[in-house]
Amino acid sequence: MTETCAIALTINGREHRLSVAPSLTLADLLRDQLGLTGTKVSCDQSVCGACTVLIDGRPVAACTEFAFQADGRSITTIEGLAKTPAELHPIQAAFIEASAFQCGFCTSGMILLLKSLLDRNPDPDEATLREWVSCNICRCTGYEVILDAARLAAKAQRTAAAS
């Protein structure tokens, strides 16, 4: 039998103690073992960013991160963003407002990427925004609507923070 590693990590605010195979990727842990299928895997080579999750707030390609590397860390997936089904995160709300998705396969990764950006830089300039969004691939939209959603979300979050 294959050896396993014992890991402890926090996923969307909930602690998990798990025994995982050393070869298990974080994406497979999330999707296949924990049922968190909102994390999509597309290129599986950390090129496209569809599988982006946040590890301690930093965007990471879950397809090429081993599960054991997340030991002791805090993971945020798309399922962890909305407080309740009715209370979406401002970036999620902005994606709906700006129609910033088409097929939706890149959407989870894009939203988490932007969360990481806006958490560290609430008012990114255009160059920064484009550079960040260029980390991930969207084949459908032509990106303008995603940039629109990012600007909307940034503004909404700044307004909320000021009030």
Partner 1 sequence: MSIPNRLRVVGEKVAAVDGHAKVTGAATFTFDRSLPGMLHIKLLRSPHHHARIRAIDTSAAERMPGVRAVATARDLAGLTPIYGVRIKDQPVLAIEKVRYRGDVVAAVAATDEAAAFAALGRIAVDYEVLPAVMTIDDAMAPGAPLLFDKPSINALRPHGTGGEGIAEPGPNLLYQFNHDVGDIDAAWAQCAHVFEDTFEFSRMTPFQMEPFVALARPEGDAIELWTCSQDPFLIRQDVANIFGLSDHQVRVHASFVGGGYGGKSFCKLEPLVVLMARMTGRPVRLCLTFDENILLLSQHAARLTLKTGVAADGRFVCRDSRLYLDGGAYSDASALVTDKTGYRLPGPYRWTAVRTRAFSVRTTTVPAGSFRGFGGTQANYACESQIDMIARRMGQDPLEVRLKNLLKVGDPYLQADAPMDSDFAAGLRSAATRVGYERSRPPRRGVGLAIGFKDGGGEARAARAAVKITVTGRVVVQGGTAEIGQGASTALCQVAAEMLNVPFEWVKYGEIDTDVTPYDQGTHASSGMTVTGTAVARACEDVRGQILAFAAEKLSCDPGELHLENWTVRHGNTVHKLQPLAIEYFGGYGCEFVGRGFFKVNEDLSTPLNAKRLFWMPAWTGIEVEVDEETGQYEVLNFVCGTDAGRIINAAAARGQVEGGALQGLGQAMFERLIYGPDGLITTSPLTYRLPLAADLPKHFEGFLEEHGMGPGPFGSKGIGESSILGVAAALANAIEDAIGVRITDLPITPEKILTALDAKRRAA
Give the interface with partner 1 as residue ranges (CB under 8 A): 23, 31-32, 36-45, 47-48, 50, 77-79, 81-82, 85, 88, 92-93, 95-96, 98-99, 101-108, 111, 130-131, 133-134, 137-147
Instruction: Look up tokens 């879950």; give the residue.
Output: 62
Closest of 50, 106, 120, 112 to residue 81, by C-alpha: 112
Measured from the CB atom, is 5 or 88 closer to partner 1? 88
Task: Tell me 16's DSSP state.
Answer: E
Question: Least Å distance between CB 97 and partner 1?
Answer: 8
d(CA 23, CA 149): 37
Q: Name the residue nearer to partner 1 (CB basis): 18 or 98.
A: 98
Select 7 or 50, whichever has its Cβ closest to partner 1: 50
Amino acid found at 152: L
Nearer to partner 1, 72 or 131 (CB): 131
Quote the CA–CA distance of 102 and 3 in Å, as a whole number.
42
How many CA atoms lie within 13 Å of 109's alpha carbon, on the beta-carbon side? 27
CB 77 within 8 A of CB 34: no
User: Hey, which residues does 9 pair with through a beta bridge?
Assistant: 16
Q: Give the nearer residue to partner 1 in terms of CB position, either 40 or 73.
A: 40
Nearest distance in Å: CB 77, partner 1: 7
Provide the minimum distance between the beta carbon of 69 and partner 1 in the complex, in angstroms, as a whole number: 19
